[in-house]
Every structure is written in C-alpha cells, then in structure tokens.
Amino acid sequence: MDKNVILGVEGLNLYDRAGNQLVKDVSLSLRAGETLGLVGESGSGKTLTLRSLIGLLPEGIREKCAARRDNPNCAMIFQNPMSALDPLCPVFRQLCEVIELRQKTNPAETRARALALIRRLSLPEALADTDRLPGSLSGGQCQRLLIAMALSCDPEVLLCDEPTTALDVTVQKQVLALIRELQRERGFAILFVTHNLAVAAQVCESLMVMRQGEIVERGPARRLLTAPCHEYTKALTGAILPVPEREA
C-alpha cells in the first residue's frame, strides 16, 4: 500500500453469522486532504464498510481483508444526531467529555476548547452556562454538535455516515458547506457515505459506487455524474429529480 495513504484497505470482505457475504473485495484509500464518496442505495454495504474502517462493526459481523492501513486518529459523524447523542446528558457536558477523553485536558482547558468549538460552529454560547438536553435543540444544532465532537478529536480522517439525511434541505446545504470549510482549514481527509448523488456532487472529488456489497464503478465525481459507465450508476444518476419548470 502507498506510504502516503493515511487510511486504506485492500480486499475487504465482511460476513454475517450465517456466512453470508455482505461486503465483497472492497479496496479504497485516502490521502491527506482528499474527499472520497461512497454512494449506493440503502443496504448496499456502505455503512458496514465505514464501520469496519473505524473498528465499530456490529456484533456477529466477521471481517477478512488482504491488507489495511488503520489510522487511530479518525473521527466519525453519524447519520442520526438524535440517536448518536445521549438523550439524558446535557450537550455541552457531552462535548467536554469527548475533549477530556481524547485530549487529556484539565477542566479549565476542556471548557475553553469546548467554547471555542461552540463558537466556530455557530452554536449558542449560552449552552456552556444553561446546558440543554439534545431534545431541546434542532436537528441542525445537534448535527453541528456531532461535528464539534468529531473535530475535538483533531482527526486526520473524518468519516461521514450520511450526516445530512435527517436534515431539511436548507440545513443540509449549510452543514455540507461547513464540513468543506473545516476541511480547508484543517486539512483532514473525508470519506463521505451517502445514497444521495446530489449531496456527493457537492462534497466529493472522487466517487465509488457500491451495489450489493461490491464496488461497481469508481472515478472522478464529475465523470461519474456526467458520463457513467455501469448500468447501476446510470440508474442512480437517472433517479435524480430535475427541478420542474414553472409555466409563465
């Protein structure tokens, strides 16, 4: 494997308890600052692949691969912020716990870093004084908190598991723009998992198309979206709904 690769896997295979193969011979690699999208319909194996890379496979899933390069300095943004956050723990406290655990900071430094992240992600500074539970915040605010937690790990690789699926389109656009802006500032690589090609087009430089656990096509995002080769990729691009024209 290329020495410049900071996270990668070759020949990844995943099996369930019954021996059914869920992911078949998947290979991918990421270098610093790159953005790679993994796209496909629900159930195609995208999230399992992502969880394999960070070591969070569900119980009973068996992994076999030819080679891999793990990066312990990874962070992940999960699909549903309301289920990823502890509903009974105030959100600012949750952020502080992540910082303290990953950065080994004292209480004063922990609070200062948490406040800096809150400000950077345009969240209310009042959260530090009147800490609130996740259920009292909007979906967009909760997703920004997950991004803050991921950034508090100072990652070299950010793994995004459909981080905008649960958001409305306006907030979705804001979150995608924020992720790209933060990437330019910090230089981390991104592996972005989504079933939405329109989202992938906004974020990713390169794409891998997954169907039934296999990569059926890969290449630059612009080429795959404008001139797909595989029939499944053509079907995905054909499923993007155009904006209807209004009558005069």
Q: Which two tokens stand for residue 53?
A: 């890379």
Give me the pLDDT at residue 247, please: 61
Tell me how far apart the terminal alpha carbons of the chain are, to the nearest angstrom.
58
Given this model, what pLDDT does residue 163 score? 86
Return the closest-CA partner of residue 179 out of 165, 197, 192, 170.
Answer: 192
Residues facing residue 183 across a β-bridge: none
Q: Are 77 and 11 in contact (CB under 8 A)?
A: no
Question: What pLDDT, on the 0 to 100 scale, is given for residue 149?
Answer: 93
User: In 3-state terms, what secondary structure has residue 208?
Assistant: strand
Task: For 103, list phi and psi in degrees, rounded to 5.
Answer: -105, -5
Task: Determine the Cα angle at 242 with ends 239 and 248, to 5°.
Answer: 155
Tens digits of pLDDT across the chain (248 residues): 677 889 999 999 999 999 999 999 999 999 999 999 999 988 899 999 999 998 889 999 999 999 888 777 899 998 888 888 999 999 999 999 999 998 899 999 999 999 999 998 888 888 888 878 999 998 888 988 999 999 998 899 999 998 887 778 888 888 888 889 999 999 999 999 998 888 888 889 999 999 999 999 999 999 998 899 999 999 888 877 565 565 65
Helices (H), 55-191: 81-84, 91-103, 107-120, 139-151, 169-186
Closest to 163 in 3D by CA, of 149, 155, 153, 154? 149
Main-chain phi, psi angles of 100, to 5 degrees: -65, -40
Spatial separation of the C-alpha atoms in residues 84 and 246, rounded to whole Å: 40
Is residue 53 within 8 A of residue 74, CB to CB? The reply is: yes
